[in-house]
Structure 1
Amino acid sequence: MSAFLTVFACVLLLAVLLSSLAHRTILSTAALFLVAGFMLGDGVLGVVSISAADEAVGMLAELALFAVLFTDGMRLGWAELRSAWRLPGRALGWGLPLTLVITALGAHYLIGLGWIESLLIGAILAPTDPVFAAALVGNEKVPPRLRQLLNVESGINDGLALPFVMVFLAVAAGSADLHLGELGLELGLGVLIGVAVPWAAIKLEQTRWFSASTQYEPLNALAIGLLVLALGKATHGNLFLAAFAAGITVATFGRRQRESFEHFGELIAELFKLAALLVFGALITPALLGAVGWRGWLFAVLALVLARPVAIWISFLGSGLSVREQAAVAWFGPKGFASVVYGLIVLGSGIAAADEVFQLVAVTIVLSILLHSSTDIVVARWFDDEREVPAWYGAAGRVRARLRGKEPDGDGSP
């Protein structure tokens, strides 16, 4: 553990020092942690020795996903969802299940996995991660509806994919171990805790007897999250649905709590994300990358360039989005943190196909992180009409730029 903490601290410091450069270029902080984990893990240098069976791995995955789902849910109150539902609704209502099914078809027919394991892989790889589309979402020259679509979709689909992952994982564990009533109770209890605890805490603070000081306001939502986590653990309610429901509840009923916690919560979630990516990278070895064979790598490529693009194309027929906007949405279906943690959960589940599922998920995520994190700025520039006209562009280009008001005339006026 001391070796892991030392490595994490060093890589984190390096990531902080390079963060400004990464924001302007194709460098990716997430890719840095993934590559660092791979290089320092048992498969290469052996500095960090981590096994999927280690209790710390499961605990980190659990806490990381809880933190991320809590902060994701907090970005999306019901008011925001109602006002911006038309396009994200297509991506979530049609795009997510279609991506799941198309990915599952590839795993079944190309790899030869059983249907339940294939559907499990589809559910793990269906969510998208906004981190790898940061340059697109944060670029004001990109149409607002496109930025909103990607932001809302990636903020919600982690939580929507979770029940599918849990159900398919329970079925894959064997019919003897599957009790649908217990599973339904676990999921329902998680949602109940996630709604009731934040609502009661916020209403309590709104009474005349209680009020949080400015100094302690950021800790309000943190306390709510910790209480949801503790009650979920004690009652065996589903922690992840509880976290997502709690975040949405805080965003809906506690505007002040949401605003005070926003920056603090994102930093906490980011730390957990990076730590989980380091662990994930350490579990990926050269032997694992080679064990999937050409079919595994072909599956990973098709999962990125076929499954989501086809699903998005079908989902957005008649939506009014331009071809360029649809292409951007179709390409930016990056597999990121949620898929990493779902993969770690499956690896530690003990199901018969755990290793094979994890291997396929791992190579797809690795490929996605490398491709999507290095192309977000490139795709964002498709929408950048404000760029300088290069010298080699010629007189015609300069005339067009002048007519658009982008280049000054000889007297210095636009």
Structure 2
Amino acid sequence: MTALLVAFAAVLLVAVLVSRLAGRTILSTAVLFLVAGFVLGSGVTDVLPLTPEDGVVGTLAELALFAVLFTDGMRAGWSDLRSAWRLPGRALALGMPLTLGVTAVLAHWLVGLPWAESLLVGAVLAPTDPVFAAALVGNEKVPQRLRHLLNVESGLNDGIALPFVVVLLAVASGSQELELGTLGTELAVGLVIGVVVPLVAVRLEATRFLAASRAYEPLTAVAIGLLVLGLGQATHGNLFLAAFAAGITTATVGPRQHEAFEEFGELVSELLKLAALLVFGALISPQFLAEIPFLGWVLALAVLVVARPVALFPSFLGTPLTVREQVAAAWFGPKGFASVVYGLLVLDAGIPAGEEIFHLVALTIVLSILLHSSTDVVVARWFDGPKETPAWHDGERAPTSAGGPPGGGASG
């Protein structure tokens, strides 16, 4: 644990120091943590000899995904969704199921997984993560509708994929009807907790006698999240669905609490994700990669370059998106942190094909982080407008008239 803490702190410091450079080049902090974990992990330096069975792996992954889903839900309040829902709705309602289906077909045909396990692979790899396309999503020169599409889609698809992962995992493990009923109860309890706790908390703060001070305002959402986490564990409700529902409910009924928490919450979520990426990298040893057959590598690449484009292009027929915007949206479906945790859930479930599925999922995520994090700046530059004429250039030419530049041409 001490080695992990020191390693994370050291890599975090390096990431902070190079963050400005990473923002304008193909360098990526996500790749930095992934590669650092790989180098420090088993089979290379053995500084962090972690295995999926280690308690710190599961605990950190669970906390990180809870924080991610809570903040994702915070970005998806109903008022925000109603303002521009059409394009993200197409991506989620049509593109996401098609992505799941195409991925399942590829998994079945290429590596021979049974259909239940193939669909499980599709569900685990369906969510996307905007963190690995930060230069695209954060670039104001990229059309707002494209940035909104990617943000809303990635904010919602983690939570939407969760029930599919849980149900398909139960099917793949051969659960009986009673166990599936228990599963439904866990999902329902998680949903109720995620809706009721924020509603009560926000209503209490709105009464005449209770109010948070300015300094404590960001902690309202923190308290809501921690209470949802504790109640979910105590009642055996599904923690992840509870977190997602709590985020959406808080953003919907408590816009002031949402605004106060937004920046702080994103930082906490980012720290947990980076720590989890370091641990995930430590699990990907050279031996781990060598165990994946050739067709497994083909599948991982096909998921990235075939499944999402095949699914999204028909989803955007008739929309105002340009071809360039559609290509950017189709390419930037990076497999993010939710897929890491869902893959660990599959491994922990002990199903016969669990280890094979985890290998395939982990490889796809690694390739996605490397490819998407190193191309977001390049693709974002597609949307740069024409370069402005330097100020010194204009200064050397006196206009022939008050109306424009020499020659009467149109102003650039």
Residue aligned with 2:96, SS = helix
- CA distance in 1: counterparts of 2:38 and 2:359, whole angstroms: 14
| 1:411 and 2:398 are equivalent in the alignment | yes
Where does structure 2 lack aligned partners over 5 or more consecutive residues?
A: 400-404, 406-410
Matched, 1:366 2:353: no
When residues 379 and 35 of structure 1 are mapped into structure 2, their CA distance, relative to the original with a 3 A threshold, is same
Superposition pairs for residues 70-149 of structure 1, below 5 Å? 70-149=70-149
CA distance in 2, matches of 1:241, 1:48: 31
Q: Give the TM-score taking structure 1 as reference length.
A: 0.94
Structure-2 separation of matches of 1:407 and 1:277: 49
Please give the alpha-carbon distance, in whole angstroms, between the structure 1 residues aligned to 2:386 and 2:344. Answer: 43
1:387 Cα deviation from its structure 2 partner: 3.0
For the residues of structure 2 that align with 1:407 and 1:108, how far apart are their CA atoms? 62
Partner Cα distance (1:42, 1:141) in 2: 42
Determine whether 1:150 maps to 2:159.
Answer: no
CA contact (8 A) 1:276 1:341 kept: no
How is 1:272-287 mapped onto 2 (pairs within 5 angstroms)?
A: 272-287=272-287
Q: CA deviation at 1:409?
A: 7.9
Q: Are 2:51 and 1:51 equivalent residues in the alignment?
A: yes
Q: Distance in 2 between matches of 1:371 and 1:303?
A: 13
Q: Partner residue of 1:380?
A: 380
1:330 paired with 2:330, answer: yes
**Matched letter for residue 247 of structure 1:** G
Structure 1: state its 5+ residue gaps.
Answer: 391-405
Match status 1:194 vs 2:181? no
Q: Is the contact between residue 65 and residue 338 of structure 1 (CA under 8 Å) also seen in structure 2?
A: yes
Deviations 1:14-43 (A, max 9, x none): 111111111111111111111011111012
Are residue 261 (structure 1) and residue 264 (structure 2) matched? no
For residues 274-320 of structure 1, the C-alpha deviation after alignment (integer angstroms, 9 at most, x for no partner) is: 11111111111111212112101100110000000000011111122
Aligned to 1:15: 15
Matching residue of 1:167: 167
Tell me what 1:69 maps to. Answer: 69
Moved more, 315-324 or 91-100: 315-324
Measured in 1, the distance between the counterparts of 2:33 and 2:191 equals: 32
1:335 is paired with a residue whose SS is: coil
Query: Equivalents in 1 of 2:64, 2:172: separation in Å?
Result: 24
Q: Match for 2:36: what amino acid?
A: A
Q: Distance in 1 between matches of 2:395 and 2:352?
A: 68
SS at match of 1:265: helix
Counterpart for residue 393 of structure 1: none
Q: State whether residues 190 and 237 of structure 1, in contact with CA within 8 Å, keep that contact through their aligned partners in structure 2.
A: yes
Aligned partner of 1:183: which letter?
Answer: L
Residue identity over aligned pairs, in percent, reads 69
Report the secondary structure of 2:309's partner residue: helix
Taking structure 1 as reference, are residues 353 and 23 closer, same or farther at Cα in structure 2, changes over 3 Å only? same
Residue of structure 2 in register with 1:244 after alignment: 244
Please give the alpha-carbon distance, in whole angstroms, between the structure 1 residues aligned to 2:291 and 2:177: 30
**Native 8 Å contact 1:43 1:285 kept in 2:** yes
Give the letter aligned to residue 274 of structure 1.
L
Cα RMSD of the aligned pairs, angstroms, is 1.7
Residues in 1 aligned to 2:290 and 2:242: alpha-carbon distance in whole angstroms? 38
CA distance in 2: counterparts of 1:234 and 1:84, whole angstroms = 37
Q: What residue in structure 2 maps to residue 402 of structure 1?
A: none
Q: Distance in 1 between matches of 2:200 and 2:175?
A: 39
SS of the residue 1:372 aligns to:
helix
Tell me which amino acid in the other structure corresponds to 2:52.
A
**Distance in 2 (alpha carbons) for counterparts of 1:330 and 1:33:** 26
Partner of 1:270: 270
Q: Distance in 2 between matches of 1:355 and 1:123?
A: 16
Q: For residues 230-268 of structure 1, what are the alpha-carbon distances to aligned partners after superposition, in whole Å with 9 as ceiling and x for unaligned?
A: 010011111001000000011001111111111111111
State the alpha-carbon separation in 2 of the partners of residues 409 and 349 from structure 1: 71
Matched residues in 1 for 2:318 and 2:6: separation? 53
In the alignment, the residues of structure 1 paired with residue 33 and residue 347 of structure 2 have an alpha-carbon distance, to the nearest angstrom, of: 20
The residue identity in structure 2 corresponding to 1:381 is R
Tell me if structure 2 keeps the 8 A contact 1:170–1:177. Answer: no
Structure 2 partner of 1:37: 37
Size of the aligned set, in residue pairs, is 400
> Which moved further from structure 2: 379-388 or 278-287?
379-388
Counterparts of 1:172 and 1:209 in 2: how far apart (Å)? 52
Deviation sequence 1:172-212 (CA, Å, 0-9, x none):
22234862211111111111100000000000010011011
Match of 1:6 in 2: 6
What SS does the corresponding residue of 2:64 show, helix, strand or coil? helix
How far apart, CA to CA, are the structure 2 residues paired with 1:280 and 1:150? Answer: 24
Is the Cα contact below 8 Å between 1:58 and 1:348 reproduced in 2?
no
CA-CA distance at 1:388 after TM superposition? 5.3
Specify the alignment match of 2:402 in structure 1: none
Q: Distance in 1 between matches of 2:272 and 2:348?
A: 19
The two structures have a TM-score, normalised by structure 2, of 0.94
Q: Deviations over 1:315-340 (max 9, x none)?
A: 11112211111111001101111111
Task: Identify if the C-alpha distance between structure 1 residues 114 and 389 changes in structure 2 by more than 3 Å, giving closer, same or farther.
Answer: farther
